[in-house]
């Protein structure tokens, strides 16, 4: 097991005169082991289940798994609704161009209201997602087990953690490319404040509208929610070593990187969606790690091979790669720190 973990948590900054040779030998052993012994190691089973949809919860995992599964089932509906979100741009433009035309004002209002109700559901879902993430973090970092032991023991929960990150990056990609969301909500708030329409019935009160406004003002609102939730989890669990959380995140990042850069593993990807899943999860855990680790993901002491992760992202043919690279550029905290090497900065330019 130690040899396998050494491969999966390899970092270019590890020292030792024979490390490169040892790493290549262990990596070769790992590939041989995987190909000819059908992933019989528990950790390799985790790697395989991590990208499949077959990780079933044990009896000990069932309670949390059921709680999170209900959230993940709703996540599919949320994504479908966001993907089909077209906005009320035409009605809003007509209302703005003819401010004294009451029928046009009412038409725009009637078009915007159900959309704002949908935006409210998205925001409320982010709160459920936050609770689900904190439940998983607690389960995957609690004593007496180390993070890698948790990932071996609770593979179904680790997969759910990955699915939350996959949803989060997917949601934010769709949100960033849909300006109608901000336009609709801005028009809604302006109309409420002016109160020019008779019998105005608002979908949200002022307090909720303020919270929603802050949420949608973020370029990546779901990722911001998860980053804040992870930071909150660490700050509220002061007796839990921060390494238990960051090691969990860095191990998942390493698993994804190894899966993406190793041909034997890549051959097991069944679709482009599986490739996207692996890339989104890797980027998601890097961003969470960078938010909660004192020196972040880009420092030389980081347990994440950032150079390797960035390189493997840039080698992928997916159209979503640039969005994921932008997430690393603009939603991490420590990229501009002095501890970040020029090489890594150059790779992300």
Q: What is the pLDDT of residue 87?
A: 94
- List the structure tokens of 103: 């029928």
Torsions phi, psi for 281 (to 5 deg): -65, -45
- 3 state SS of 334: coil
What's the rounded Cα separation, in Å, for the pair 85 and 89?
11
The b-or-e profile of 271-296 (16+ CB within 10 A means b, else e) is eeebbbbbbbbbbbbbbbbbbbbeeb
What's the rounded Cα separation, in Å, for the pair 157 and 140?
8
Q: What is the pLDDT of residue 218?
A: 92
Measure the CA angle with vertex 224, ends 202 and 50; round to 5°: 120
Write down the residue that tokens 């949601």 correspond to: 171
Please give the share of the chain, as a percent, with pLDDT higher than 70.
81
Nearest by Cα to 180 from 95, 91, 296, 253: 91
Nearest by Cα to 228 from 175, 292, 302, 136: 292
pLDDT digits (tens, 9 = 90+) for 89-111: 999 999 999 988 989 988 999 99
Q: Are the beta carbons of 159 and 71 closer than 8 angstroms? A: no
- Is pLDDT of 319 > 80? no
What's the rounded Cα separation, in Å, for the pair 264 and 201?
59
User: Which secondary structure element, helix H or strand E, spans residue 3, and what is its range?
Assistant: helix 2-8
Q: Is 199 left (phi over 0), alpha (psi -120 to 50) or beta?
A: left
Residue 199 burial (10 A CB sphere; 0-12, 13-18, 19+): exposed
- List the structure tokens of 256: 């994804």
Q: What is the pLDDT of residue 238?
A: 87
- List the structure tokens of 322: 């640039």
**What confidence tier does 29 reach under pLDDT thresholds 50, 70, 90?**
very low
- 3 state SS of 41: coil
- Is pLDDT of 33 > 60? no
Average pLDDT, the chain: 82
Mean pLDDT (whole number) for 69-73: 95
What's the rounded Cα separation, in Å, for the pair 94 and 345?
46
Q: What is the pLDDT of residue 54?
A: 60
- Is pLDDT of 253 > 60? yes
Q: Are the beta carbons of 184 and 92 closer than 8 angstroms? A: yes
What's the rounded Cα separation, in Å, for the pair 217 and 252?
29
pLDDT digits (tens, 9 = 90+) for 49-64: 555 556 788 888 999 9
Q: What is the pLDDT of residue 261?
A: 86
Q: Are the beta carbons of 156 and 56 closer than 8 angstroms? A: yes
pLDDT digits (tens, 9 = 90+) for 118-142: 999 999 999 999 999 999 999 998 8
């Amino acid at each position: 097991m130690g040899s396998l973990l050494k491969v999966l948590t390899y970092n270019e900054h590890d020292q030792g005169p024979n490390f490169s040779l040892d790493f290549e030998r262990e990596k070769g052993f790992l590939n041989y082991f995987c190909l000819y012994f059908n992933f019989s190691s528990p950790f390799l089973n985790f790697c395989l289940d991590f990208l499949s949809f077959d990780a079933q919860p044990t009896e000990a995992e069932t309670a949390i798994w059921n709680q999170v599964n209900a959230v993940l089932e709703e996540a599919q509906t949320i994504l479908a609704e966001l993907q089909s979100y077209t906005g009320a741009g035409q009605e809003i433009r007509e209302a703005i161009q003819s401010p004294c035309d009451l029928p046009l004002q009412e038409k725009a209002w009637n078009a915007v209201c159900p959309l704002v109700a949908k935006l409210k559901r998205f925001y409320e879902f982010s709160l459920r997602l936050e609770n689900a993430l904190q439940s998983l973090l607690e389960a995957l970092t609690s004593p007496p087990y180390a993070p890698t032991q948790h990932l071996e023991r609770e593979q179904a929960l680790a997969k759910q953690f990955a699915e939350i990150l996959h949803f989060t990056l997917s949601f934010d990609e769709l949100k960033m490319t849909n300006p109608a969301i901000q336009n609709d909500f801005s028009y809604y708030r302006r109309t409420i404040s002016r109160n020019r329409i008779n019998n105005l019935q608002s979908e949200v009160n002022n307090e909720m509208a303020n919270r929603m406004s802050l949420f949608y003002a973020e370029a990546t609102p779901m990722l911001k929610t998860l980053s804040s939730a992870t930071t909150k989890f660490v700050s509220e669990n002061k007796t839990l070593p921060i390494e238990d959380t960051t090691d969990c995140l860095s191990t998942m990042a390493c698993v994804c990187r190894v899966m993406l850069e190793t041909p034997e593993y890549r051959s097991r990807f069944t679709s482009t969606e599986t490739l996207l899943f692996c890339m989104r999860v890797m980027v998601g855990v890097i961003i969470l790690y960078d938010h909660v680790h004192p020196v972040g993901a880009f420092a030389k002491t980081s347990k994440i091979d950032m150079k390797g992760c960035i390189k493997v992202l840039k080698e992928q043919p997916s159209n979503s790669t640039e969005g994921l690279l932008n997430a690393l550029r603009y939603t991490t905290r420590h990229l501009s720190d002095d501890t970040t090497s020029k090489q890594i900065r150059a790779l992300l330019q």
